[in-house]
Chains A and B, each alone.
Chain A
Amino acid sequence: MKLHIPNSAFLGNIDPFIRSFEPAEPNKLEITFNEKWSSVHPLVLSMTAALGLAIKEKNGQINCHGTTAKSINYPCRMKLFEYLGVNPNIELEEHEPSGRFIPLTKITNGSEQTKFIEDLVPLLHTSASQADSIKYTISELVRNVLEHAESPMGAMVCAQYFKKSNRISIGVADTGIGIKESLSASHDVPSHGEAIKMALIPGITGKTSVPGGTGENAGAGLFFIKSIAKINRNFFVIYSGNSMYKLLKMQGDSRTTLFPDPNRDRHSLRQDLPDWQGTAVGVDISVSDNQDFAQLLGKIREVYSLGIKERKKLKKARFI
């Protein structure tokens, strides 16, 4: 397998990075770096680390090329080389992580996830309400991996705060069975692209064909996360098999409308990409004092209930 870490790959321009991935020879991983510098979305690092773990599990070989002090500064700080098991032999200055980044972390069970989220809060240096949507997003993305991916290495996750744009970027990747195979257990799924779109529709889960899901799974997690990104006018990317769905940024001051059908969102869908054995998700979340997570959830609730014809007949929860 081959992977090239370019000097820039964020969700808006991540397509060349994805296309550079060569999945042939699954027991070998050749990683090349842009020699001048690299500044990439956490999704790139999570994917690279997840591939590295999969290769190590098979006692395969990992080689890195183009490693200079500038090119590997950021990947080193994010602990990429620790997960790859490769020593770049270059001295770097250690940085205090608080308030800037959450390095790569492997999560394989619910307890590790809970601890990761507890440790995450002080690193974010945000108010409690600002942290809500970030904790929510990471929790649901990692939980998806643990419950649906059948990935022995679990989930690789990392995040970065970007001061200039005042946003947190999050990347979660696994090398499990992928969305198409997961959904195929309960649904007729014609392609990876259709599988991704089905997974974004609230109420569809691979655990059952029954609408609304099981007692454990509602099939709503990805819809919520896509909605959080959309309301914040940010990118959301999901890549599995040969397909990638990208929620594009909303333009200007246009009113944000949420749709249960991902086809109605402004998006791109590529179905001719190198085959990713598993699932990778990247999302950007704005960190703003004006953003109220409860109000955001209220908008999601309106959409989720759009199809319910007789709302007045619904029984309400009793809050005391």
Chain B
Amino acid sequence: MKNEITIKIYDEAGNFAENKDKARDIRLNKIFPALDAGDTVILDFSRVTSTTQSFIHALISDVIRKKGIDVLDNLLFKNCSDVVKEIIEIVVDYMQEPPEHLPNGIKKSLGK
């Protein structure tokens, strides 16, 4: 049976979630094991007023990269402030498409 695992971000990272070390710990020790077990993960941002793109990237980008974008069916975001929502949407968007704005020289070095 599929369980719902709720992870309270405030308890790990405080009301301004910026510590990427904490984000990595949550990702490796809580998100991946729960998803691997077939559970649905709810990231609860209640009491988190703000965050950084670096934190959200460290929290979910590798999950999307390794599990595929459909992991978003089992990785839900709860009680997000407007700032937190915007940053999650930015990271989710750019994890689905490689940047197209890179200069030609960089694209070449990236093999594009």
Digitize B61-82: 1 where CB-to-A-CB distance is under 8 Å, 0 elsewhere.
1100100011011001110111
- Asked, given contacts A314-B97, A317-B88, whether A209 binds B110 with beta carbons under 8 Å apart, the answer is yes
| Nearest A-chain residue to B83, judged by Cβ | A294
Question: Is B1 in contact with chain A by the CB < 8 A criterion?
Answer: no
Q: Are B92 and A316 in contact (CB under 8 A)?
A: yes
Question: Is A150 in contact with chain B by the CB < 8 A criterion?
Answer: no
| Nearest B-chain residue to A305, judged by Cβ | B93
CB distance from A274 to the nearest CB of B (A): 27
Q: Are B86 and A297 in contact (CB under 8 A)?
A: yes
Q: Which of A31-39, A170-178, A200-208, A229-237 forms contacts with chain B?
A: A200-208
Q: Are A212 and B98 in contact (CB under 8 A)?
A: yes
CB distance from B7 to the nearest CB of A (A): 14
Q: How many residues of A contact B (CB 8 A)?
A: 55
- Asked, given contacts A110-B19, A110-B21, A314-B97, whether A297 binds B102 with beta carbons under 8 Å apart, the answer is no
| Nearest B-chain residue to A259, judged by Cβ | B101
Q: Are B103 and A261 in contact (CB under 8 A)?
A: yes
Q: Are B110 and A210 in contact (CB under 8 A)?
A: yes
| Nearest A-chain residue to B90, judged by Cβ | A301
Q: Which of A48-56, A91-99, A128-136, A157-165 forms contacts with chain B?
A: A128-136
User: Which of A293, A305, A315 is in CB contact (< 8 Å) with B72?
Assistant: A315
Most chain B beta-carbon contacts within 10 A, residue among A118, A220, A297: A297
In the complex, 17 of the A-B residue pairs with CB atoms within 8 angstroms, ordered by the A residue number, are: A114-B19, A132-B50, A136-B50, A136-B52, A203-B99, A211-B98, A211-B102, A211-B110, A212-B94, A214-B62, A216-B58, A218-B54, A218-B91, A220-B94, A224-B53, A304-B94, A319-B76
Residue numbers of B with Cβ under 8 A of A are: 14, 16, 18-21, 24, 27, 42, 49-50, 52-54, 57-58, 61-62, 65, 69-70, 72-73, 76-78, 80-83, 85-103, 105-106, 109-110, 112
10 A-B pairs closest in CB distance? A307-B100, A215-B62, A294-B82, A203-B99, A297-B86, A211-B98, A260-B101, A139-B18, A308-B97, A218-B57
Interface contacts beyond A135-B16, A314-B96: sample of 19 additional A-B pairs, CB < 8 Å, sorted by A: A110-B20, A135-B18, A203-B94, A204-B106, A211-B99, A212-B99, A215-B57, A215-B58, A215-B65, A217-B57, A261-B103, A293-B83, A304-B94, A307-B99, A307-B100, A308-B100, A311-B93, A319-B88, A320-B42
